[in-house]
Amino acid sequence: MAHVTIVGGGPGGYEAALVASRLGAQVTLVERDGIGGSTVLTDCVPSKTLIATSDLLTDVSTAGELGVKVPASIRADLASVDARVLRLAQAQSDDVAHRLAASDVVMIDGTATIETAGSVRVETADGEHLIETDAILVATGAHPRVSPDAQPDGERILTWEQVYGLQELPEHMIVVGSGVTGAEFASAYNGLGAAVTLVSSRDRVLPGEDVDAANVIEDVFTRRGMTVMGNSRMASVVRTDAGVRVTLTDGRTVEGSHCLLALGSIPNTQGLGLEEVGVALDDAGFIAVDRVSRTSVRGIYAAGDCTGVLMLASVAAQQGRIAMSHLLGDAVHPLDLSKVSSNVFTSPEIATVGMSQKQVEESDLQIDVAMLPLASNARAKMQGVHDGFVKIFCRRGMGVVVGGVVVGPRASELIHALSIAVSASLTVDQVADAFTVYPSMSGSVAEAARRLHHIG
């Protein structure tokens, strides 16, 4: 029986462990901070739980339009919200641990270093252990980037891992960084009722996302009272008597009660022994892998954020599963990033799948595009939804769907129809012909597909 040692208990690691066990391997998983990884304990699960409360309050704030009189005093009790976030994250971690235990995965609470391609050293509370193994999967994730001139103190200057200790809603949260994480937290604290300033070094928020989608979000942010500072690069963040001061590279300053740093992530690949055994890293420290998660050393695989391929929990999990299928001789489908769907959990949400507008513009392929505002959808009108759209990209001629964008409430759910279409190479006619409920937001997905018919 092959013995696999997995370093890291996030989705890259634990999903691999479950697959490896199912395929008959003996599996040891080493995790230093908690099963579920950053995904479950500090990043994805906590942030989406916080956003659930913020979304509820955002809905309540628009209740007047639907004829409901809501007292102005409705507000979130942040201590209870944060306690719920941490409780839920721990419960999710426990669930994953139970699943692993039920699959006979041996879990070791400790810090691992790679000794050779066939051995892993683990430091635990009761000493050091050497594990002899047939293969290794490195799934050690990443941690928040900070700057020497903006040192988090866990009280006022915070990373996204530290915000759940807040007992009261910040009076004025300054979020530095307008990528996905920055935009999600800015949206969340705005929805919870805090004054929010979003400091963006680029000319618009969400520079990596669909331009039309980012424009909707920036418009909604400013309409809801957020201050969005474009072309504003942070030089330093310091504590003041009243809170924090953010100084920009052009000398301007912004004062607030708290500052959240969302400056990106750094892979957890230092001090692991990777370079010593010959595993190639790129200039930013990410582990170089191929589409079946192999590193440059035979028998050592890597998955998830430590590879920097696409920093998503779903991609980490898929890379881990593929690695184990490859190692243990099961059918392997190499990672295909052209079919990944992802979501930005702002309010409204931005969901995307397949080719992006930018890829379409840079591609030699002939692609047709249809974009339909949600405001024309009957269900959207009933629910008081004004912002958002559905956009579909298809190959000219055949009409095969190659990508899509949905902006709106629960876009993360609506995108699934387009995700199936991209994954199964369905045509716009096939998407349009499938019945949708009337009235429903998904009607707009079918209608956008229908608008591409005459071209196909």
**Which residues here bind ligand FAD, judged by CB under 6 A?**
7-13, 30-33, 37-39, 43-44, 47-48, 111-112, 139-141, 160, 181, 268, 272, 304-305, 311-314, 316, 345
CB nearer ligand FAD, residue 167 or residue 270: 270
CB nearer ligand FAD, residue 96 or residue 246: 96
Do strands 341-344 and 349-354 pair parallel, antiparallel, or not at all (unpaired)?
Answer: antiparallel
Q: How far is the CB of 455 from ligand FAD (least distance, A)?
A: 33
Do strands 135-138 and 3-7 pair parallel, antiparallel, or not at all (unpaired)?
Answer: parallel
75 dihedral zone (left: phi>0; alpha: psi -120 to 50; beta) = beta
**Beta-carbon neighbour count of residue 194 at 10 Å?**
22
Q: How far is the CB of 121 from ligand FAD (least distance, A)?
A: 10
Q: How far is the CB of 311 from ligand FAD (least distance, A)?
A: 4
378: amino acid identity, one letter:
A
Q: For 274, which DSSP code?
A: T
CB nearer ligand FAD, residue 39 or residue 133: 39
Dihedral of CA atoms 346, 204, 182, 316 in degrees, nearest 10, equals: 80
| DSSP sequence for 167-230 | SS--SEEEEE--SHHHHHHHHHHHHHT-EEEEE-SSSSS-TTS-HHHHHHHHHHHHHTT-EEE-
Tokens representing residue 5 in the block = 């040692």
Do strands 300-302 and 135-138 pair parallel, antiparallel, or not at all (unpaired)?
Answer: parallel
Q: How far is the CB of 34 from ligand FAD (least distance, A)?
A: 6
CB nearer ligand FAD, residue 327 or residue 432: 327
| DSSP sequence for 47-111 | HHHHHHHHHHHHHHHTGGGGT----TT----HHHHHHHHHHHHHHHHHHHHHHHHHTT-EEEEEE
Q: How far is the CB of 262 from ligand FAD (least distance, A)?
A: 8
Q: How far is the CB of 11 from ligand FAD (least distance, A)?
A: 5
CB nearer ligand FAD, residue 225 or residue 271: 271
CB nearer ligand FAD, residue 281 or residue 432: 281
CB nearer ligand FAD, residue 9 or residue 256: 9
CB nearer ligand FAD, residue 8 or residue 443: 8
CB nearer ligand FAD, residue 164 or residue 393: 164
**Beta-carbon neighbour count of residue 80 at 10 Å?**
11
Q: How far is the CB of 217 from ligand FAD (least distance, A)?
A: 16
CB nearer ligand FAD, residue 136 or residue 214: 136
Q: How far is the CB of 33 from ligand FAD (least distance, A)?
A: 4
**Beta-carbon neighbour count of residue 21 at 10 Å?**
20
Q: How far is the CB of 8 from ligand FAD (least distance, A)?
A: 3
Do strands 106-116 and 26-31 pair parallel, antiparallel, or not at all (unpaired)?
Answer: parallel
89: amino acid identity, one letter:
A
Tokens representing residue 75 in the block = 């507000």
Tokens representing residue 114 in the block = 């790679």
**What's the CA gap between 337 and 322, in Å, rounded?**
13
Backbone angles phi, psi at 235, to 5 degrees: -100, -40
Q: How far is the CB of 284 from ligand FAD (least distance, A)?
A: 15
How many residues are there in the chain? 456
Q: How far is the CB of 381 from ligand FAD (least distance, A)?
A: 29
Q: How far is the CB of 173 from ligand FAD (least distance, A)?
A: 15
| DSSP sequence for 280-321 | -B-TTSPBP--TT-B-SSTTEEE-GGGGTS---HHHHHHHHH
CB nearer ligand FAD, residue 258 or residue 395: 258
Backbone angles phi, psi at 39, to 5 degrees: -50, -50
CB nearer ligand FAD, residue 128 or residue 255: 128
